[in-house]
Amino acid sequence: MKPIYHFEHVHILSRDPKAVAQYFHKMFDAKIIEGVEADGKPRIDVEMNGLLIFIFVDNLDETAAELKRRGVEFVVEPFMKRPGLKISFIRGPENVRIELLERS
């Protein structure tokens, strides 16, 4: 069975996340949301008119196995982040990190 993919949010890795957030704010009227990760590191999110883009799948373990067969490199193997949410990260083109999610 082929995985079915859906989009929910995008991660942008940057050397200067505040500048990137300011760009989205200036150009697209995006809302800048500053917070702190569970490990204490600062986090900056950008929300544009409710648009968040993730990739989530129905069965992350099966999807991971299929993606590995296709040659995908996993940066973070699937794990249960909290009850009802399993996540992993893969490396895309040009070192882009792509988060995969399974919600139950």
pLDDT in tens, 41-90: 777 887 776 654 345 577 899 989 988 998 989 999 999 999 988 999 88
Quick one: pLDDT at residue 94? 65
Q: Please check the confidence at residue 14 and state whether its pLDDT lies above 60.
A: yes
Give the model confidence (pLDDT) of 21-35 as tens digits.
887 788 667 888 888
Position 6 scores a pLDDT of: 64
DSSP states of 20-70:
HHHHHHHHH-PEEEEEE-TTS-EEEEEEBTTB---EE-S-HHHHHHHHHHT
Domain annotation for the chain: domains and CATH numbers: 6-103 (3.10.180.10)
